[in-house]
Amino acid sequence: MLELRRRDFLKTLGGGLLVMMTAESDVLAQESGRRSANEELPTNVAAWLHIAPDGKITAFTGKVEVGQNIRTSLTQAVADELHVAPNMVTLVMGDTARTPWDMGTFGSRTTPTMAPEMRKMAATAREALIAQAAKETGKPKDHLRAWNGGVFYAQSKIGTPYGDLASRIDWVGVIGNADVVTAPAHWQVAGTDLPKINASEMVTGKHKFVSDLKLPGILYGRVLRGPVPGAKLFSADTSAAAKMAGVVVVRDGDFVGVAAIDERAAEKALASIEAKWEEKAAEVTSPSAFGAVGSGRPKDATPVRSSYQVAYIAHVPLEPRAAVAEWQDGKLTVSTGTQRPFGVRSELAAAFALPETDIHVLMPDTGSGYGGKHSGECAIEAARLAKGAGKPVKLIWTREEEFQWAYVRPQGNIHVMSAVDANGKVVSWNFVNWASGPAGLKSPYDIDEAQRTEKFLEAKSPLREGSYRGLASTANHFARESHMDEIAAQIGMDPLAFRMNNLKNERLKAVLSAATDKFEWSKQKATASRGFGLACGFDKGGNIACCVEIAVSPSRQVKVERVVAAWDCGAIVNPNHLRNQVEGAIVMGLGGALFEEVEQANGKIQNPRLSQYRVPRFTDVPKIDVILIDRKDVPSAGAGETPIVGIAPAIANAIFSATGLRIRSMPLLPALARA
């Protein structure tokens, strides 16, 4: 079995260099429990790297690019270990026929888990090339060096090209060896500002997103939607649509869709369908089901108790879900924008009762995700339409569909009861998150384990909920960091001094110091029209501190004018892209903090358009200073998520400093208007 699969990869790659890996169990570490039941990680064979006879290097990863710039950072990792320029390396990503199985691109896992694996493979390849050169030349290995695509003896300028050496190596049985990986202090390509790999294709429009793909004879799909997800189709009269020129109607149980020669014909055909739906009421749990919080606290401690809310929000990836599906001889190929190409392959296999080997899912670099593109419904719909029509079909969800038929970040209520002693130490901490999730639940502050409870209670939601950048870490940090401010206010302590007084975590203290120094926190004095707030947090290996300055008008309009954030996620792989991620997370977090809110009634979203659902725009964005702390002694953690958690509580705290009003509900602006 093992040998067979290895040969399959040899065939796929046409010989050359193949490197095996043993996947580590931590790749399975997952935040939302979506662990694949039967899927084996490719421990037997995974081809991660290929060196062609011309020396070009191709690396393979199941991870996908949605704007977080891992195409760039993983290329840096491979180039670094093979001692070549990054333009010698091409990354194949998220292609179920070519790349090793991968659970998906989420949870900030690429940098801490995938980059080390790829480094291990590339470093092992480098050593194998050197060993081969030693064998061929009779020179001792430690006098040979791999550099810029060739292996050279001592200071000689004449070496043997990688491509030649690779073609003479028997790669079967060359197993990745983590011992030969380069330490961050010796990185050459990583640690530098390599620009985004395919940026020039983005500025010229040459990059083909899924929604840009076209195949000969392609039809354009639309799907009939009920009033809300879960509504049952009672009847659908498709006779008018079926008579239209260039239109195919596809029905399969409750699924009704059309595929047509152009998008306009599809739209007209869809509009002509008369359908009746049976609705069922959405099941919900009310927050009152949430039990009492609190336990015994020391007698002389001051109690503080408060509750916080977060609203449903939407990801709003600028490219909505899209898929292009084609059937050939009973086999299915789907290009789709997803964070889980292998997961979507499983969904397709289940939907069409096909073996996964008959399904090929590809994921071109996609127009963002933010945790919102885990699921494969658009791929399944496109495949259903293509099957029914007997032709390739492209389906791009409308913006309204993306709002209503994808999933939202959960809402939640968080109840906190704490107590603080006369020295400003938190001595009791009871924290219950109802509905929004467990990520970032545990306080990083130094609180006696016996005196703290941190719980998450699940709830039923009228809306379909799912992953989101940072998950509930945003909600939990909003509650925790607002509450820390409330305690500080209650005992009359400066918010920074109070936090420092309760922190032992040196890395978190370091980001807090870095941000507040740059912000000149100690010099800032709030007035009725100007507020200052700070917050800090830790999740998934990253430490963030955020200071904000806001202007407040007499009518309580709030403008965030300045943000200073400090971030530490270990050794920095690409400073400029890391900065970009932190900035982007702050801007995204600003939307959820101030005004984003999905409004729903009985499971139907009331504001499913960009004219109704406000996301941050140019004029909302403050000056943002990002301080990066490079810890070459600490393995790199991911940065796509955690930088989002500091901004909301920092703004809430700034609002309090200016107005004396404690806003405990996100989004803050409507809550402030009601206060």
Can you give the binding site for another protein, defined by CB under 8 A? 66-69, 193, 195-196, 198-205, 207-209, 211-212, 214, 220, 262-264, 316-320, 365-368, 370, 396, 398-399, 576-577, 580-581, 583-588, 609-611, 615-619, 621, 623-624
Facing residues of 61 across strands?
A: 93
Closer CB to another protein, 135 or 214, in the complex: 214
| Nearest to 162, CA basis, from 17, 62, 281, 267 | 17
CB of 77 to another protein, least distance (A): 19
Residue whose CB is less far from another protein, 127 or 625: 625
CB of 587 to another protein, least distance (A): 3
Q: Least distance (Å) from another protein to the CB of residue 337?
A: 10
d(CA 354, CA 340): 18
Mapped onto helix, strand or coil, the DSSP state of residue 434 is strand
Nearer to another protein, 266 or 526 (CB): 266
For the chain, the C-alpha Rg in angstroms (whole number) is 27
Token duo for residue 547: 């200071």
Q: Residue 246 — left, alpha, or beta (φ > 0 → left; ψ -120 to 50 → alpha)?
A: left
Find tokens 């400029």 and name the residue.
Answer: 576
Closest CA to 214 of 359, 324, 321, 363: 324
Residue 363 Cβ, how far from another protein at the closest point, in Å? 13
Write out the DSSP string of 274-309: EEEEE--PPP---GGGS--------TTSEEEEEEEE
Place of tokens 């120094």: 517
The least CB distance from residue 530 to another protein, in Å, is 19
In our burial notation (b when 16+ CB lie closer than 10 A, e otherwise), range 95-120 reads bbebbbbbbbbbbbbbbbbbbbbbbb
Q: Output the smallest distance, CB 371 to another protein, in A.
A: 13
- Smallest gap from Cβ 441 to another protein, in A, equals 26
Measured from the CB of residue 106, what is the shortest distance to another protein in angstroms?
A: 15
Output the smallest distance, CB 394 to another protein, in A: 9
Report the alpha-carbon distance of residue 368 to residue 316 in Å, rounded.
9
Cβ nearer to another protein, comparing 59 with 588 = 588
**Non-local CB neighbours of 450 within 8 Å, separated by 6+ positions:** none
Q: Which is nearer to another protein, 139 or 562 (CB)?
A: 562
Residue with smaller CB distance to another protein, 371 or 462:
371
Cβ closest to another protein, residue 317 vs residue 533: 317
DSSP 115: H
- HEC string of 31-84 equals CCCCCCCCCCCCCCCCCCEEECCCCCEEEEECCCCCCCCHHHHHHHHHHHHHCC
- Bridge partners of 429, per DSSP, are 418, 452
Are the C-beta atoms of residues 487 and 418 closer than 8 Å to each other?
yes
Cα–Cα distance list, 297 to 426, 428, 432 (Å) = 11, 6, 17
Q: Residue with structure tokens 């939302």?
A: 32
Beta pairing partners, 58: 50, 90
**Considering beta carbons, is residue 190 or 414 the nearer one to another protein?**
190
Q: How far is the CB of 406 from another protein (least distance, A)?
A: 14
Which H or E run includes 129?
helix 115-137
**Nearest CB to another protein, comparing residues 266 and 508:** 266
CB of 319 to another protein, least distance (A): 5
Least distance CB 233 / another protein (angstroms):
25
Q: Smallest distance from the beta carbon of 241 to another protein, in angstroms?
A: 17
What the block records as the tokens of 20 is 């095996």
In terms of CB distance, is 417 or 544 closer to another protein?
Answer: 544
Encoding tokens for residue 196?
């985004």
Q: How far is the CB of 257 from another protein (least distance, A)?
A: 18
**Would you say 378 or 459 has its CB closer to another protein?**
378
Q: Which is nearer to another protein, 68 or 636 (CB)?
A: 68
- Select 6 or 374, whichever has its Cβ closest to another protein: 374
CA distance 26 to 22: 12
The helix (H) or strand (E) run that includes residue 328 is strand 322-328
Nearer to another protein, 81 or 549 (CB): 549
What angle is formed at CA 541 by the lines to CA 538 and CA 543, rounded to 5 degrees?
40
Q: How far is the CB of 393 from another protein (least distance, A)?
A: 13
Contact criterion met (CB below 8 Å) for 389 and 250: yes
Amino acid at 533: G
Q: Is the CB of residue 514 less than 8 Å from the CB of residue 566?
A: yes
Minimum CB distance to another protein, residue 369 (Å): 8
CA 338 to chain centre: 11
Q: 624: part of which helix (H) or strand (E)?
A: strand 623-628
CA distance 222 to 200: 32
CA distances from 142 to 119, 134, 152, 162, 176 (A): 21, 9, 11, 17, 20
Taking the complex as a whole, the smallest distance from the CB of residue 332 to another protein amounts, in Å, to 23
DSSP-derived letter for residue 335 is: E
Nearer residue to another protein within complex by CB, 186 or 208: 208
φ and ψ of 233, to 5 deg? -75, 125
Q: Which is nearer to another protein, 199 or 350 (CB)?
A: 199
The residue among 183 and 618 lying less far from another protein, judged by its C-beta, is 618
- Alpha-carbon distance of 340 to 104, in angstroms, equals 4
